[in-house]
Structure 1
Amino acid sequence: MLCARSGSKLPFQANDQPRSPPTDDDEAITRSLAGDLAAYEVLVTRYSAVAHRTAALLGAGDEAEDVVQDAFVKAFRFLSGFRRDAAFRPWLLRIVANETHNLTRSRGRRADLVLKIGVEPETRTPDDPEGVAIAGDRRTRLLDAVRALPERERQAVVCRYFLQLSEAETAEVLGWPLGSVKSRTFRGLAKLRKEVGHELS
């Protein structure tokens, strides 16, 4: 059962009668609101990876798992207020972003940014060890450059290009006007191109 690190629990127990898993988000939300905890667990399973990635990329670092747990609990508690004509994923990620912001603000310092490109670790001897080393060096330079961006430009670049959110989804997740997403992404990319150039290609 999903629970927060603080000991918070979802405010109902799963129904005793087993049912087939919901096939889409809308059905999962409907059944969750009706008291089907197993249906909400489907949403948790479906979006845990992207929620964790969002928290880590936006600055939660080693505490990303705690942030995600708290975000899912909060999302459940406010599920009745979710607009059913909207997409669940960006709504959830906005909660994750807010929880991450609260965490980093409470630390009183800028959290260390943990960026994971999503490349699987090499488990065999590479055919081109020199090429692998060069690629790793380029990736490190790119991540260092992203870390050095001003916070809002970094958030925009992370959402658009690491999380692969659309401009509209980024605006919803970060709570910004669409124009701010565009301008901050543009400025962030311009600075990255100046710093790392061809690593962006």
Structure 2
Amino acid sequence: MKAFKALPRFRDGAQFRPWLLSIVANETKNLHRTKKRRNLLELRVAEDPVDHRDPANLAVRDAAKTELLNAIRALPDKDRLVVTCRYLLDLSEAETAQTLGLAKGTVKSRLSRALTKLREAVSHD
């Protein structure tokens, strides 16, 4: 609804997807700040079709997803937003930079640091 209402402010010739995703990113920040709802993108990643063939593998996979999502949630806001845009929304580095209003180099360095933190947080059995 906010994007629809903001359409008159959309600049002719600008790329639509990064403009729209910047609105989404801002709304995500607002939702997180108010702590009234969970981050819907992280929950969507956890929803995977159930494979009934091997319950043991299912349990291990679900535990690994939960551990990864908890590690993502524990990241600082600036790192979590970059990881969400880059890997959960599958944006390129350039699109992530434009969506979050950052330099491309900033996106790369934040991703590098965030991935290091995630590797340390997730156990490797």
TM-score range, shorter chain: 0.7 to 0.9
1:53 corresponds in structure 2 to none
**2:18 paired with 1:90:** yes
Q: Which has the higher contact order (CA 8 A, sep 6+)?
A: 2
Partner Cα separation in structure 1 for residue 46 and residue 71 of structure 2: 18
Aligned AA for 2:112?
Answer: F
Give secondary structure in 2 for the equivalent of 1:83.
Answer: coil
TM-score by length of 2: 0.81
Q: Which runs of 5+ in 1 are unaligned?
A: 1-71
Q: Which runs of 4+ in 1 moved over 6 A?
A: none
Aligned AA for 2:12?
Answer: R
**2:111 paired with 1:185:** yes
Aligned AA for 2:118?
Answer: L
**2:65 paired with 1:139:** yes
Structure with greater proportional helix content: 2
Following TM superposition, by how much is the alpha carbon of 1:90 offset from its aligned partner in structure 2, in angstroms? 1.6
Relative to structure 1, the CA distance from residue 110 to residue 193 in structure 2 (aligned partners, 3 Å threshold; closer, same or farther) is farther
2:122 corresponds in structure 1 to 196
Following TM superposition, by how much is the alpha carbon of 1:186 offset from its aligned partner in structure 2, in angstroms? 0.8
Following TM superposition, by how much is the alpha carbon of 1:198 offset from its aligned partner in structure 2, in angstroms? 5.2
Give secondary structure in 1 for the equivalent of 2:45.
Answer: coil
TM-score by length of 1: 0.53
Identity %: 50
Following TM superposition, by how much is the alpha carbon of 1:146 offset from its aligned partner in structure 2, in angstroms? 0.6
Report 1:21-170 matches (<5 A): 72=1, 74-105=2-33, 107=34, 112-114=38-40, 115=42, 116-117=44-45, 119-122=47-50, 126-170=52-96
Count residues in correspondence.
123
Following TM superposition, by how much is the alpha carbon of 1:177 offset from its aligned partner in structure 2, in angstroms? 1.8
Relative to structure 1, the CA distance from residue 155 to residue 85 in structure 2 (aligned partners, 3 Å threshold; closer, same or farther) is same
Partner Cα separation in structure 1 for residue 71 and residue 49 of structure 2: 22
Q: Deviations over 1:59-79 (max 9, x none)?
A: xxxxxxxxxxxxx3x323332
Partner Cα separation in structure 2 for residue 154 and residue 104 of structure 1: 11
Q: Which runs of 5+ in 2 are unaligned?
A: none
Deviates more, 1:169-178 or 1:132-141: 169-178
Partner Cα separation in structure 2 for residue 192 and residue 102 of structure 1: 24
Give secondary structure in 2 for the equivalent of 1:85.
Answer: coil
Partner Cα separation in structure 2 for residue 163 and residue 173 of structure 1: 11
